[in-house]
Structure 1
Amino acid sequence: MQLKLISIILILHYMEYTVCQQHPSRHRQNKQSPGVNWGCHGGCLTCSDSNGCLSCKPRFFFFLERSGMRQVGVCLSSCPSGYYGTRSRSPDINKCTKCGLSNCDSCFNRNFCMRCKAGYYLLQGKCQETCPEGLIPSDTQRECVLDCTTECDSCLNGDTCNKCKAGLYLLEGKCHQTCPWEFEPNEQLTECIPKVHCEAGEWADWSPCSRRGKTCGFKRGEETRSRDILRPPSPHGDPCPPTTETRKCVVKKKKCAERRRGGKRQRNQRREKEGHDGQQEHMETGEVGDRDGLESRNKTEHRLRRGHSRDPVLPAGDAVR
């Protein structure tokens, strides 16, 4: 095929040479403005009036386009339907080659089709009129696809699912046993949903240096800082980073003067309270003693009265003489 193309190019060059001999003024015009001429297009590097492009600029593909009974060379940025582009080491002989399969609309190489013509369905790089068992034809994709009923609980059409069967998860009309990367299964919806990764806010300022809750009376302590969680993660998303940090700190040691005065005042108040409580207890003890003494005296007088009442009364005759 390359030899045939080279032969065509040589013949066209010879024809151009013959024309130039007959019209030397036109040949001088071509020399002054190379690549610009009645038969040239935007991608042509060299051309002739009668045969079009003879060679193409880099990144363009040479293609023989049929014009009635003749073929005219054109340079295209991409090859037409039914052809694929081949590049060589020489940029001026990139060309469009016809697909080897007649029912192929576009191909990767001669024997591997990428899209079929209408009425045919792609399967493993080949175009077929019917699909094998277990697959159904898709007119939109022009491919043999999985039968929706094998994985779907309900279908929108032959290759688009509305709801998947148990154990499968829906994503863009397809059912998946495991969700693709950056998606996670939602058991309630039986769908693949995007993962949500944790998002933390900025760190706050460091706290004052402290030790055991005090900010004085020490030299070495600790200071902390924190940050908020702006967005919690989904079950399979990236977990949240730590929200607090602690580091050692050193400060100039100072006495807790305010706390010492406060402690002395508290001790005085405690002593006053203890004195008041003792006095009240003493008064209460005295009152109890007075009540006990009164009760004791009342009992003694009562016993004495009872003793006098029990003495025997002598008859008048037996009085002491």
Structure 2
Amino acid sequence: MSRQQRQALDALLRSAPREETRPTPARQRASFAAAMTRPAPEGVATRRTALGGRPALDLEPAGAADRRRLLYFHGGGYLVGSPDTHAGLAGALAARAGLRATSVDYRLAPEHPFPAAVDDGLAAYRALLAGGADPRELVVAGDSAGGGLGIATLLAAREAGLPQPAAVVVFSPWVDLTLSGASMRAKEEADPIFSEADIRAYADLYVGAGDRSHPLASPVLADLSGLPPLLVQAGANEVLLDDAVRLAGRAGAADVAATLEIGPGLPHVYQHEHGRLDEADAALDRAARFLVGHLDAAVDPAEGSAEVVH
């Protein structure tokens, strides 16, 4: 059944119409919202809020832990997407982990180019800490550009002298705006969603004439030392595959506990298909266990005291 699901998903993604001329950002946002929005799962309450000076969406599963928090960054190439479009994905992860999540509506390009999104990510993380959140009870997650933003946020937090959270999970992270990964070209035919030209267009709008190798724009090129335990999940059929592979490899080389999972025959952010694709549900289950496991490990149950886990 899973193979049939993968094939059906690939065919569906390839059937999506492509416009000959690139639409305006406003039109792209509307199209993305219409195609991708999934509501929060049943049993997950949502509430409009603000965090770090930006609008945000709280997602609270029934029976969620009181203090533990998940900070989520949605994908969309830094151009499209919102907490609303990703309420289904963020809520599905939060529900599995039993965590209250906050998804940040960070500023988008081209109106707000790099480093606006990173500034918003850092402000959100700083606000959680300033509000009394214990970093050992915080975890971070994101997909696609949101995965890259999650890593960049933690790098910015490290440089600001802030403590790291207990763990971070990223789905199909976009972490190289220089587009130097070999899969950017080698996987074009296998990828049912993106081409190299698509990814380059997003990078053009986000960074423009700026330095695309800046460590907060392309965190795969950064020194990753000091980051928390990292889980990276990606599909084999995506041009961003090498972003995921190199991120996990460079994190491991920097003495960060890093786990890489590559799903055969799967597209970019296949976790969006939870409830419709067996691999998506299994991946979210593993991601939730990873986050909860590291939250549990940050507290010594014998002593009742917390210790930072790297």
Superposition TM-score, scaled by structure 1 size? 0.15
| Max Rg structure | 1
More contact order relative to length (CA 8 Å, sep ≥ 6):
2
**Which one has a larger percent helix, Structure 1 or Structure 2?**
2
**Which one has a larger percent strand, Structure 1 or Structure 2?**
1
Superposition TM-score, scaled by structure 2 size? 0.15
